[in-house]
Structure 1
Amino acid sequence: MRADAISRFRCLLPATAILIAAPAVSQTRDHAPVSLPSARVMAQDKAGSESWTYARPASEFRKYRTVMIPAAIVYQGPDAQFEGISQADRAKFADMITQELRTEMAKSFPAPASPQTDTLRLQVTILGATKTTGGIATATRVTGLGFATSALKSVLGKPGSLTGSILYAVELYDARTNELMLAAVRRRTPDPLDVPATISQTETVKAVAREFADGARKRLVALTGAGQ
């Protein structure tokens, strides 16, 4: 039954928000983040990958029409993967993702002041990040060969050269009962053709947050039928 649920989850809500895996050496290739609340119920999507997923069997989403977005959490577990990124920057990146997600979700889902019977809670946890090599990463996009290479990577869904990434978890709960319904761990990078995202780490996070929020809203609309 669990395998069927995970398969259904992938069809309805691929990782909760169009997420792209990027190559990196990390502990999440061996186990789900140990201090993440949903870690014990997640299954690895593919051996050696950083993708982990959980879907509660027989979840019914059609009754949900509102979404609460708590502030994104900066992961403090022993297997956090921030590669020299300061605590201040981690907090800044979490806030950027929170604000982008709240703004985007508001287009389709009201945010109640307190949980109702039709309310979902979408919790994001930033598990790690890799740095963008500003300037050099941009240069690899704007040359003729670099642009062609980036275009090919974009089509293939691969990350761009020297561009950073964000590793994060998404946990979707019934806000009233606190029951975990869906969870996923993914690593995401900006599209290789997104040249502004290569300028700095902040621009990389902005691009990731924007793409993540847009995808998350569209997937939740498809899952719940809100506005259809």
Structure 2
Amino acid sequence: MKMLKKIPLLLAVGALLLVTACSSTRPVPYAGIASSQQLRLNKDAKSDRVPYQYASPVRWGDYSNFILDGVAIYNGNDSQFEDVSAEEKELLAQYMEVRFQKALESKWRVINAPASKTIRVKVTLTGAKSNTRFLTTFLRFDIGGGPYNAVQAARDEEGLLTGSVSYAVEIYDVSSNRLLTAYVAKQFPNAWNIQATLGRLDASKVGIDKAADDLVARLN
């Protein structure tokens, strides 16, 4: 009898797993960013996190300074914001600017005016998804959601109803205004990161932390 009572719940969870797995979005070569026409499919990507990129031969060691433009919020028709208010977009953009600057300062000196040996970093917030309050955390322990999230954590893929952040990065040589590299990406917390499930924007902020660290790793 108890098993019969659980069947509707299991069916509901199974349906949720199927819908969530099929609805996960990946970044696109956003038409409204300057480097859109230069972005190419990233065939070396091991996941959907960085599906498009552009790269020219660069010796990053030749640069010693950086200028970080204010993080822009993308308003194109192909933006990927899900259940995120205008105010929350602003909060995420501000957090992104602080984290990216801090990460870049670990490698280069920040300056405010054009100079030689300087890169200009332009970051655009192109999408974000908020956590589903209570349900995102619950599905880490539920009989259906727990095993699914365990598999996703092992694969380093998205957890059920977990927030995320999508963005574009474009880097220019200040002296020549030549595009050095560009890419669009998506970041999210590990599926077993319970702390990142508690607040609406917590997962998106963890994604931003990972995005900042990933940028510096790319430039080393």
1:180-213 deviations in Å (ceiling 9; x for gaps): 1111111221111221111123211221111111
1:127-167 deviations in Å (ceiling 9; x for gaps): 11222112111122246875554343222121011101211
Larger radius of gyration: 2
Classify the secondary structure of the residue corresponding to 2:61: coil
TM-score scaled by length of structure 1: 0.76
CA contact (8 A) 1:147 1:193 kept: no
The 1:63/1:23 distance shift into structure 2, 3 A limit, reads farther
CA contact (8 A) 1:27 1:79 kept: no
Which residue identity does 1:42 align to in structure 2? L
The correspondence of residues 164-175 of structure 1 with structure 2, limited to 5 A, is: 164-175=163-174
Aligned to 1:65: 64
**Between the two proteins, what is the percent identity of the paired residues?**
25
Aligned to 2:80: 81
The correspondence of residues 69-218 of structure 1 with structure 2, limited to 5 A, is: 69-142=68-141, 149-218=148-217
Aligned to 1:5: none
TM-score scaled by length of structure 2: 0.78
Aligned to 1:17: none
Gaps of at least 5 residues in structure 2 are 1-21
Classify the secondary structure of the residue corresponding to 1:62: helix
Distance, in Å, in 1 between the alignment partners of 2:108 and 2:169 is 17
The 1:175/1:23 distance shift into structure 2, 3 A limit, reads farther
Distance, in Å, in 2 between the alignment partners of 1:162 and 1:75 is 23
CA contact (8 A) 2:129 2:204 kept: no
Gaps of at least 5 residues in structure 1 are 1-21, 223-228
- 1:44 pairs with 20, 41, 46, which one? 41
Distance, in Å, in 1 between the alignment partners of 2:147 and 2:118 is 45
Distance, in Å, in 2 between the alignment partners of 1:136 and 1:83 is 16
Which residue identity does 2:212 align to in structure 1? A
Which residue identity does 1:198 align to in structure 2? T
Distance, in Å, in 2 between the alignment partners of 1:145 and 1:107 is 42
Distance, in Å, in 1 between the alignment partners of 2:158 and 2:97 is 23
Distance, in Å, in 2 between the alignment partners of 1:195 and 1:34 is 35
User: C-alpha displacement at 1:65, in angstroms?
Assistant: 1.7
Count matched residues: 194
CA contact (8 A) 2:99 2:212 kept: yes
User: C-alpha displacement at 1:121, in angstroms?
Assistant: 1.6
The 1:151/1:109 distance shift into structure 2, 3 A limit, reads farther
